């Protein structure tokens, strides 16, 4: 039996926006080398591999270069495929057993809400190469912190974030999975691309914060929309804004919208998804 594979644009309701992920439904056990080869062949920021097991699915994520511990957009894409194929009923909860523990997703009308671990950053001094690789001077940076996966850098205005042109050879020296750069949105602004909110085209939606995310060390220079980054951004901005529910935009060229809600030690991440390709692996 041929192995089914799907390509899904996540954190968007319009094809060719958001973040593309491949979702591979395994009908038999496959070794790590095979999965890494498939991820290299798909050449997307992540390829998800789903295997049915008791009470849910085993879920693993691979970039073109390596396996990662947590990925939001490929989890969203995986849940979307399971509901689209009828492998889960509309009221069923998707349960994924991963390297970051049990992750769940629920269908909320046209949106999918994922339950992720909160990954707050801890403040520290900017390490060597970080600001240099981002092309930032210390005067424009309001905060530098780090969680178990990534650095987080807050800059003082959205225009600076949108204009970033990182030096990849320098950023590759930074010893983390990636670097998240963020800024508060203090007024209604036009952002690159089309923003989709509540299934409407809404080019001037009222966002709480925006971000960009860079992962050159694992073969993804700029990730279009990064769900796992919002496990860090959620608790960070919730504390600064003193609010538990927020609307976020990742300001990459493709762009994407994420609903973020704090729930104790967990972060609820909401997004939409569109299947753009269906195929089989030979």
Return the CATH number at 189: 3.10.310.10
Q: What is the pLDDT of residues 136-191, one digit of tens each?
A: 999 999 999 999 999 999 999 999 999 999 999 999 999 999 999 999 997 665 55
Whether residue 126 is found in the same domain as residue 86: no
Residue 128 is predicted with a pLDDT of 86
Q: Are residues 107 and 91 in the same domain?
A: yes
Cα gap 247→256, rounded to integer Å: 11
Q: How many CB atoms lie within 10 A of CB 7?
A: 19
Residue 129 shares a structural domain with residue 49:
no
The reply to whether 75 and 135 lie within a common domain is no
Distance CA 36, CA 42 (A): 10
- Decide if pLDDT at 46 tops 70: yes
Helix (H) or strand (E) holding 85: none
- Higher-confidence position of 258 and 128: 258
Tokens 């650095």 found at = 151
Q: Does residue 136 sit in the same domain as residue 265? A: yes
Active site residues: 46
13 plus 64 within the same structural domain: yes
- Domain containing residue 66: 3-113+271-281
Same domain, yes or no, for 164 and 46?
Answer: no
Radius of gyration of the chain (CA): 18
Q: Are residues 107 and 171 in the same domain?
A: no
Judge if 191 and 76 occupy the same domain: no
């Amino acid at each position: 039996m041929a192995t089914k594979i799907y390509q899904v644009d996540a954190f968007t309701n319009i094809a060719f926006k958001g973040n593309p992920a491949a979702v591979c439904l395994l009908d038999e056990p496959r070794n790590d080398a095979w999965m890494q080869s498939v991820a290299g062949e798909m050449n997307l920021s992540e390829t998800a591999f789903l295997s049915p097991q008791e009470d849910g699915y085993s879920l693993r994520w691979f970039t073109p270069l390596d396996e990662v511990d947590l990925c939001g957009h490929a989890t969203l894409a995986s849940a979307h495929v399971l509901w689209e194929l009828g492998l889960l009923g509309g009221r069923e909860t998707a349960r994924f057993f991963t390297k970051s523990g049990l992750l769940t997703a629920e269908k909320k009308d046209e949106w999918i809400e994922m339950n992720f671990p909160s990954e707050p950053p801890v403040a520290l001094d900017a390490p060597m190469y970080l600001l240099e690789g981002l092309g930032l001077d210390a005067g424009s940076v309001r905060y530098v912190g780090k969680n178990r996966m990534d650095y987080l850098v807050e800059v003082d205005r959205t225009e600076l974030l949108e204009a970033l042109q990182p030096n990849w050879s320098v950023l590759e020296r930074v010893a983390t999975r990636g670097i998240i750069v963020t800024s508060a949105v203090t007024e209604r602004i036009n952002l690159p691309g089309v923003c989709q909110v509540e299934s409407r085209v809404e080019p001037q939606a009222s966002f709480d914060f925006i971000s960009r995310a860079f992962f050159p060390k694992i073969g993804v220079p700029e990730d279009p929309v990064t769900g796992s980054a919002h496990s860090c951004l959620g608790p960070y901005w919730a504390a600064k804004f003193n609010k538990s529910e927020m609307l976020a935009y990742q300001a990459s060229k493709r762009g994407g919208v994420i609903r973020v809600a704090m729930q104790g030690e967990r972060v609820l991440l909401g997004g939409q998804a569109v299947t753009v390709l269906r195929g089989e692996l030979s």
